[in-house]
């Protein structure tokens, strides 16, 4: 094996055109074009960037029952969400193939296999051939997210080969869940992707923690969100602005190395692609004294069982 086996990564720290699928998709494609022209191997976008995070829930009394404000904002959100089966990501897949560039993209998914009306915070992996290899629906929406997102399943708990690396990913606070992390470690993960809606208060601790626990690189990618990123056409925008701070998400994208130390400290308030090159040999160096699913594990004492069946409410037999 060569002493180094570099992987160039791009952290796409951008703001969505909030709840505007077409506008946000254009921004995503612009970042992919730039990363491709810069010969990147992987580009990562934040949680639910397409078409955005449901900030209104914390700003408009999202838990109030049966209000017209919440109903209309939810309907607008669902209308701008992503149905993969309808080809909503075809242009992104085409760019992945054009530039031979793998992509992790956070979407709000409206899947037909669950009736096409409920939505999920999903993390999509597209390989360098432009093929969608996994769609991981967030297992447990966090707190007020449960008012708009549905709970996912284990189907997307998968890893993928990327150069010398084995890459896997989780959405936001899923990264705090020990057993989903362990399921990725057990599949050989050595490059962990953690996606967030934004802000260093999410990324500054867990990024280094997972890196040290897994003896892996960890890439955390967050979005930005400022008051100017709300389109004027947003339903009930005046009500949202009553309590919205000027900055709702400050970024905080970062990278930790396999020793748990910073490779790239959290970047705040800067919009655009952030580039870094990773050296695979660092993984093997740190696995010398600890490997969570290899020489420092006891499968005869503890084992994890994972159900990766895609869940549905119906099973048709013709």
pLDDT in tens, 274-316: 999 999 999 999 999 999 999 999 999 999 999 999 999 988 9
Q: Is residue 307 part of a domain?
A: no
Q: Which two tokens stand for residue 309?
A: 């069946």
Q: Is residue 316 part of a domain?
A: no
Q: Is residue 309 part of a domain?
A: no
Burial of 286 (0-12, 13-18, 19+ CB in 10 A): buried
Q: Is residue 299 part of a domain?
A: no
Instruction: Tell me the H-state helices in 6-164.
Output: 21-37, 56-59, 68-79, 90-99
| Residues in a beta bridge with 105 | 124
Residue 16 CB coordination number (10 Å): 28
Report pLDDT for 283.
97
Here the CATH number for the domain that contains residue 39 is 3.60.110.10
Residue whose tokens read 């160039």: 8
- The backbone region for 182, taken as left when phi is positive above 0, alpha when psi lies in -120 to 50, beta otherwise, is alpha
Across the chain, mean pLDDT equals 96
pLDDT band at 24 (very low <50, low <70, confident <90, very high): very high
Q: Give the separation between CA 109 and CA 242, rounded to whole angstroms.
A: 29
Q: Is residue 1 part of a domain?
A: no
Question: Residue 146 belongs to what domain range?
Answer: 6-287
Per-residue pLDDT tens for 77-136? 999 999 999 999 999 999 999 999 999 999 999 999 999 999 999 999 999 999 999 999
Report pLDDT for 1.
41
Report pLDDT for 5.
81
**Residues contacting residue 286 through CB under 8 Å, at least 6 positions apart:** 215, 258, 259
Question: Once rounded to an integer, what is the mean pLDDT over residues 135-141?
Answer: 98
State whether residue 24 is helix, strand or coil.
Answer: helix
pLDDT band at 2 (very low <50, low <70, confident <90, very high): very low
Q: Is residue 308 part of a domain?
A: no
Task: Work out the percent of the chain whose per-residue pLDDT is above 70.
Answer: 99
Is there a cis peptide before residue 51, judged by omega within 30 degrees of 0?
A: yes
State whether residue 185 is helix, strand or coil.
Answer: helix
Per-residue pLDDT tens for 48-62? 999 999 999 999 998
Candidates 21, 37, 46; CA nearest to 271 is 46
Per-residue pLDDT tens for 230-247? 999 999 999 999 999 999
State whether residue 53 is helix, strand or coil.
Answer: coil
Residue 127 CB coordination number (10 Å): 19
Q: Is residue 298 part of a domain?
A: no
- For residue 4, pLDDT over 90 is answered with no
Out of 3-17, 156-170, 261-275, least confident range? 3-17
pTM for this structure? 0.96
- For residue 255, pLDDT over 60 is answered with yes
For the chain, give the number of residues.
318
Calculate helix-pair angle for 200-214, 178-186, nearest 10 degrees. Answer: 50
Candidates 48, 51, 188, 183; CA nearest to 124 is 48
Q: Is residue 233 part of a domain?
A: yes
- For residue 3, pLDDT over 60 is answered with no
Q: What angle do CA 152, 82, 204 make, to 5 degrees?
A: 60
Domain count along the chain: 1
Question: Once rounded to an integer, what is the mean pLDDT over residues 180-200?
Answer: 97
State whether residue 239 is helix, strand or coil.
Answer: helix
- For residue 11, pLDDT over 80 is answered with yes
């Amino acid at each position: 094996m060569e002493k180094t086996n570099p992987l160039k990564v791009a952290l796409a720290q951008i703001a969505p055109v909030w709840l505007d699928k077409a506008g946000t998709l254009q921004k995503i494609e612009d970042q992919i074009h730039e990363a491709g022209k810069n010969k990147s191997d992987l580009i990562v976008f934040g949680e639910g960037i397409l078409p955005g995070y449901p900030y209104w829930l914390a700003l408009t009394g999202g838990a109030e029952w049966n209000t017209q404000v919440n109903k209309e904002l939810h309907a607008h959100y669902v209308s701008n969400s992503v149905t993969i089966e309808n080809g909503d990501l075809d242009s992104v897949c085409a760019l992945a193939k054009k530039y031979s560039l793998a992509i992790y993209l956070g979407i709000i998914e409206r899947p037909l296999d669950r009736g096409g009306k409920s939505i999920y915070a999903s993390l999509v992996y597209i390989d360098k051939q432009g093929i969608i290899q996994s769609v991981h629906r967030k297992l447990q929406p966090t707190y007020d997210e449960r008012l708009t997102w549905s709970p996912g399943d284990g189907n997307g708990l998968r890893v993928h080969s990327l150069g010398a690396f084995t890459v896997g990913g989780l959405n936001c606070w899923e990264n705090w869940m020990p057993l989903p992390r362990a399921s990725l470690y057990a599949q050989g993960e050595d490059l962990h992707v953690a996606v967030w809606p934004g802000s260093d208060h999410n990324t500054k601790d867990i990024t280094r923690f997972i890196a040290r626990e897994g003896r892996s690189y960890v890439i955390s990618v967050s979005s930005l969100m400022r008051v100017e990123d709300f389109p004027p056409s947003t339903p009930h925008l005046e009500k949202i602005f009553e309590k919205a701070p000027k900055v709702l998400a400050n970024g905080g994208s970062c990278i930790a190395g396999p020793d748990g130390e910073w490779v790239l400290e959290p970047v705040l308030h800067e919009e655009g692609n952030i580039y870094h090159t990773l050296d695979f040999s660092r993984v093997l160096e740190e696995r010398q004294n600890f490997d969570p699913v290899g020489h420092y594990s006891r499968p005869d004492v503890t084992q994890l069982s994972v159900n990766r069946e895609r869940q549905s409410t119906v099973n048709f037999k013709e």
